Amino acid sequence: MLKKEQLEELLTLCMRSEADFAEIFEEDTNKESISMLNQVVEGVDRSQSSGVGIRLYKGVQSVYGYTDIEDMDSLKNVIADLVDALGPKDEGVKVQLKEEKIEDKHPIRIDPLASPLQEKVDLLMEGSQAAYEASEKVEKVSASLASVHQKVQISNSNGRLVQDDRHRVRMAISSYVSDGKTLQSGACSPGGSMGLEFFETTSPSSIGKEATRIALVLSQAKPCPSGKMPVIIDNGFGGVIFHEACGHSLEATAVAKNQSVFANKLGEQIANEKVTAIDDGTIPNAWGSQNIDDEGNPQQRRVLIDHGILKSYMIDTLNGRRMGMASSGSSRRQSYKYEPTSRMSNTYIAPGTDTLEDMLKGIERGLYAKKMGGGSVNPQTGEFNFAVQEGYMIENGKITDPVKGASLIGTGQEILMNIDMVGDNLERAQGMCGSISGSIPTDVGQPRLRVKEITVGGTANE
């Protein structure tokens, strides 16, 4: 990491331009990935990535340069390109930095990258074996353990100098079962902003067993029927529905340029009154948490929708300028190779009071989506899709046969209004979210909820 005096020199150079703001993001990241197939270690890979991203604003224009060649001359060359793009000036403010100490709200106990390889291999073996032993039908198990340690230092022309230290671990297990003819797979991949102590509360064997359980259900599943029907979406990763259908459309990236169906709707009812949605980057040791965002602003808890009323967006500084609003501490990026922008952190729908019995009552034909896969959205049109990983039919108020190959599609505007029941079993689950500033860890979450009508895409038409 660069010294305070070096940063002051570079930032002062940046400000000898038409820029009204300059920022330097430094990163030093170490990653390790261990992979296993059928209880045999297949790969152990490590990477070290460190570099610098320099950003200048002039009003709502931004210029950004990044490099991993970290000597002062190379960095000055990057700055010269950026200054040239905005327009140079003979004079500018002399930047003086004041170091801020931040409290670490996500401390870890067992540093995964510093732990012996064998300890991590043992954890993977435990998960892998549990997946195998869960059924005689299991033919293959693949497992991986990823550990990441990212150190960042952020400084800017307003005098801010702040550092953060971020750790995370994640174990992913896929179990493959055979019905004699074809394979079916099930996967489970929890993680947290934690060290190896994560596996003291989420045991590797529970991850392996869950992967096999899903694969077994799928191997017995029938093709899913098509058409509009009521859908009950269970808790945890079911929250991907909010993430895709609405979350991305509430990011300033889409809102600032009027490219979201929810632009200019603050204070309006955009969801059923049972829906309260929150994006909270402060949850201790959660997968999508940080002490500070990637512009150095403290992470926050943001109430996006309160009982159906749109209360706030997720805003980064640059888009905030366009919107005439302050940053909400939502600026994130995969690494210094990306300019940051507004992103989600841990996003979830708050718990309600409806029970599963109430939800099932009156449904003649519907879908119970127990586990969701991923999805995507076009914020401009609001059209979204997401995959059902584990689903069951609902017939005459009862959950019946498992079904496979289903996806749910619709528009964000419609589905928010169509959520008519919200349960009390809030749970969060982990995902990687991809957008213009790269792939970042985010939690999705919700209690069980019911959508009174949504298009289910299946294959059983005849």
Partner 1 sequence: MNKQAWIEKAKELGLESFEIYQSLSASKEMTWYEHAMDTFVTSKILGTSLRGIVDGNVAMIALEQVDDSKMDSVLKQLVDQAKTIQTPEKVVFATPKPLEEKAVSSRQWVQPSMQQVEKTMDKIEEKCLAYDPRIVQVGYLGYEEGKGAREITNSLGLHLEDEDQVQYLVCSIVALENGVYKDATKVEVVENFDTFDIDAFVKEVCQEALDQLGARSIPSTTCPIILEKDAMSSLFGAFAGLFSGDLIAKGISPIAKDLGKKIFSEQVSVIDDPRDPNALSIANFDDEGVLTKRKVLVDHGVFEQALYDIKSAIKMNTESTGNGFKSGYASPVSVQPMNLSIVPGEKDLDGLMEQMQNGLVITDLMGLHAGIHFVSTQFSLQASGYRVKDGKRSEPVTLITIAGTFLDLMNHVVAIGNDMDWTYKQVVCPSILFEKCAVSGE
Query: 47 to 76, contacts with partner 1 by CB under 8 A?
Result: 47-51, 60-70, 74
331 belongs to the binding site for partner 1 (CB under 8 A) = no
Closer residue to partner 1 in complex, CB, 49/285: 49
220 belongs to the binding site for partner 1 (CB under 8 A) = no
Of 7-36, binders to partner 1 (CB under 8 A) are: 33-34
Q: What minimum distance in Å lies between the beta carbon of 72 and partner 1?
A: 15
Question: With contact defined as beta carbons under 8 Å apart, do 34 and 43 qualify?
Answer: yes
442 belongs to the binding site for partner 1 (CB under 8 A) = no
Question: With contact defined as beta carbons under 8 Å apart, do 366 and 261 qualify?
Answer: no
Q: Is 128 left (phi over 0), alpha (psi -120 to 50) or beta?
A: alpha
Beta bridge partners of 232: 368, 450
| Integer Cα distance of 266 and 309 in angstroms | 8
Of 77-96, binders to partner 1 (CB under 8 A) are: 78, 81-82, 85
Scanning 41-49, 154-162, 293-301, 417-425 for contacts with partner 1 by CB under 8 A, the matching segment is 41-49
461 belongs to the binding site for partner 1 (CB under 8 A) = yes
Of 385-414, binders to partner 1 (CB under 8 A) are: 385-387, 404-407, 409-411
Task: Return phi, psi of residue 318, to 5°.
Answer: -65, -50
Of 190-219, binders to partner 1 (CB under 8 A) are: 218
| Integer Cα distance of 329 and 301 in angstroms | 9
Residue 38 CA to its chain's centroid (Å): 29
How is residue 67 written in tokens? 């490099």
Of 95-124, binders to partner 1 (CB under 8 A) are: 117-118, 121
Binding-site member from 381, 399, 418, 420 for partner 1 (CB under 8 A)? 381
Beta strands (DSSP E) in 242-397 are 277-280, 301-306, 309-310, 331-332, 341-342, 346-349, 365-378, 383-395
Q: What minimum distance in Å lies between the beta carbon of 36 and partner 1?
A: 9
x/- letters, 253..282, toward partner 1 (CB under 8 A) = ----xxx-x---------------------
Q: How many residues bind partner 1 (CB under 8 A)?
A: 80
Q: Is the dihedral of CA 428, 331, 335, 95 positive or negative?
A: negative
Q: What minimum distance in Å lies between the beta carbon of 433 and partner 1?
A: 11
| Integer Cα distance of 115 and 169 in angstroms | 12
